[in-house]
């Protein structure tokens, strides 16, 4: 019997869905922490280990998940038309998920990548304007040639860590800075903000300087305003084995769960 071609089953929407399933569950578990570091990098590290744990659980579960690697602070991967001096090859998105398509007709496209960038949201800290950074140092990186995030991809994702301020105020602030950079405005996809959980934000597909095809950027904003941001940034992250259980796992053990809404 002939071996089935993986490329017929490995579609971009399926890969995208698998990555989103891992990171949305990991973000929900991150929201169960009462204390977190304040800076972006150590929060990303917490999320990294949670995503690794969730992915492993899904791979071993009945519902399953696609096998892929999760890389933190890894450089953009080369696309066939990149040169060795392409500036984007020195840039590092916060997360890169990679799947192997061994049956790809072009060996240069046998590694399929999905990129995610994270940013804090809330009040400015001195000259560090968090809500402006979301556009200038986040969304714009998927549009500009010198950063080239998501090159070769039809979609990617942004994660927003909401640390303080009212979400409506943050959204207005983000859009003010976005419009000034000719970036399409963001819109809350849900009817209301989800407390201590993820609210999905929608945005029209983005024009890119380096591609005639637009990229669909998904936005997942995690409400962390209940957390105390008092853990030292240089402190090792909480072990995934010691992370607080998700409501789903507690229900499986017969508990009621403690995820607050």
Domain boundaries of the chain, sorted by first residue? 7-77+85-252
Residue 195 in this model has a pLDDT that exceeds 70: yes
Tell me what the mean pLDDT of segment 132-146 comes to: 97
Cα separation, 196 vs 188, whole angstroms:
16
What's the pLDDT band for 256 if we cut at 50, 70, 90?
Answer: very low
Model pLDDT, residue 103: 86
Cα separation, 229 vs 225, whole angstroms:
9
Of the listed ranges 157-161, 193-197, 254-258, the least confidently predicted one is 254-258
Six token digits for residue 153:
């991809």
Model pLDDT, residue 255: 39
What is the pTM (predicted TM-score) of this model?
0.89
Q: What is the 3-state secondary structure (H, E, C) of 159-212?
A: EEEECCCCHHHHHHHHHHHHHCCCCCCCEECCCCCCCCCEEEEECCCEEECCEE
Tell me what the mean pLDDT of segment 117-146 comes to: 96
Cβ–Cβ under 8 Å, residues 167 and 194: no
Model pLDDT, residue 261: 34
What's the pLDDT band for 62 if we cut at 50, 70, 90?
Answer: confident
Cβ atoms < 10 Å from Cβ of 77: 18
Model pLDDT, residue 69: 97
Planar angle of CA 137, 18, 161, nearest 5 degrees: 35
Instruction: Look at 182 and 258; give whichever has higher pLDDT.
Output: 182
Residue 185 in this model has a pLDDT that exceeds 80: yes
Model pLDDT, residue 246: 53
Residue 12 in this model has a pLDDT that exceeds 50: yes
Planar angle of CA 144, 150, 151, nearest 5 degrees: 75
Q: Quick check: helix, strand or coil at residue 158?
A: strand
What's the pLDDT band for 6 if we cut at 50, 70, 90?
Answer: very low
């Amino acid at each position: 019997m002939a071996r089935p071609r993986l490329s017929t089953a490995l579609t971009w929407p399926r890969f995208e869905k698998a990555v989103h399933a891992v990171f949305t569950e990991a973000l929900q578990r991150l929201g169960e922490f009462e204390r977190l570091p304040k800076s972006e990098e150590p929060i990303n590290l917490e999320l990294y280990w949670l995503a690794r744990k969730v992915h492993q659980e899904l791979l071993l579960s009945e519902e399953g998940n696609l096998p892929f690697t999760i890389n933190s602070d890894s450089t953009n991967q080369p696309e066939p038309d990149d040169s060795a001096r392409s500036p984007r090859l020195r840039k590092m998105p916060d997360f890169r998920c990679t799947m192997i398509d061994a049956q790809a007709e072009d060996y240069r496209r046998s590694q399929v990548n999905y990129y995610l960038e994270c940013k804090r949201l809330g009040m400015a800290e001195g000259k560090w304007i968090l809500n402006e950074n979301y556009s200038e140092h986040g969304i714009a990186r998927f549009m500009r040639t010198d950063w080239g995030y998501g090159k070769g991809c039809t979609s990617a994702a942004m994660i927003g860590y909401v640390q303080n301020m009212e979400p409506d105020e943050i959204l207005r602030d983000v859009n003010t800075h976005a419009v000034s950079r000719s970036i399409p405005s963001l819109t809350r996809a849900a009817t209301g903000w989800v407390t201590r959980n993820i609210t999905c934000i929608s945005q029209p597909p983005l024009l890119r300087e380096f591609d005639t095809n637009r990229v669909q950027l998904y936005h997942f904003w995690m409400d962390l305003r209940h957390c105390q941001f008092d853990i030292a940034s240089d402190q090792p992250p909480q072990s995934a084995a010691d992370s607080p259980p998700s409501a789903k796992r507690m229900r499986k053990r017969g508990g009621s769960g403690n995820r607050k809404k």
